[in-house]
Amino acid sequence: MNSRSKLSRWYIAIAEFGALIIDGVASIYVHSLLGLSGVSASFWLVVIAVAACSLIDENNNNEIILAFFIGLIADIYYLGFIGPYTVGLTLVSWLCQNITRILPDVFVVRVPVIVVCYLLFDAFFWFILTIASTISISFSQVLWGMIANAILALILASLSYPLFNLLGREYPFAIKMNYYK
């Protein structure tokens, strides 16, 4: 039982890291499945994982620290420089923890918040990469992409929210649950 409780403190971190790996694999296929000229969607399950876990466990500041380190890993692996994921995921986590205090704890309220965070992250990501001259995508293409991203985020959030809800409630990140049982 003791080894299980030590590992269970890391379930959310493992799930968010798994979401990051799924992002890399699925983004190749999701982009090509759309088949729309000039419109693309960004597959960011990790943004949904960070937002959902932060909405559910709003008093755990370890969630913000976890989002920072997941973002750092993503920046180093995917981009080669530190910035968009590190800052963006940390801000998403912080925003979700602060906004959840005024929202009811129901699925139909939390999923739209996750979609809005997804779109804010997408806009922030585009802005940072445009300033860094890494990409050159026009703002109009980004706006059309936001529609595709909103639909994709709604689907991903609706499908994955039960898993992250369970993890956030039963296995909060880096907290010993022995004292509560």
pLDDT in tens, the chain (181 residues): 455 567 778 888 889 999 999 988 887 776 665 555 556 677 889 999 999 999 998 888 889 999 999 999 999 988 888 889 999 999 999 999 999 989 888 999 999 999 999 999 999 988 998 888 888 877 788 888 888 889 989 999 999 999 999 988 888 776 655 444 4
- DSSP structure class, residue 66: H
Please give the structure tokens belonging to residue 68.
């920072």
Widest distance between CA atoms in the chain: 55
Q: In this predicted structure, what is the pLDDT of residue 179?
A: 47
C-beta separation of 56 from 165 below 8 A: yes
User: What is the Cα–Cα distance from 171 to 149, expressed in whole angstroms?
Assistant: 29
Distance CA 85, CA 154 (A): 20
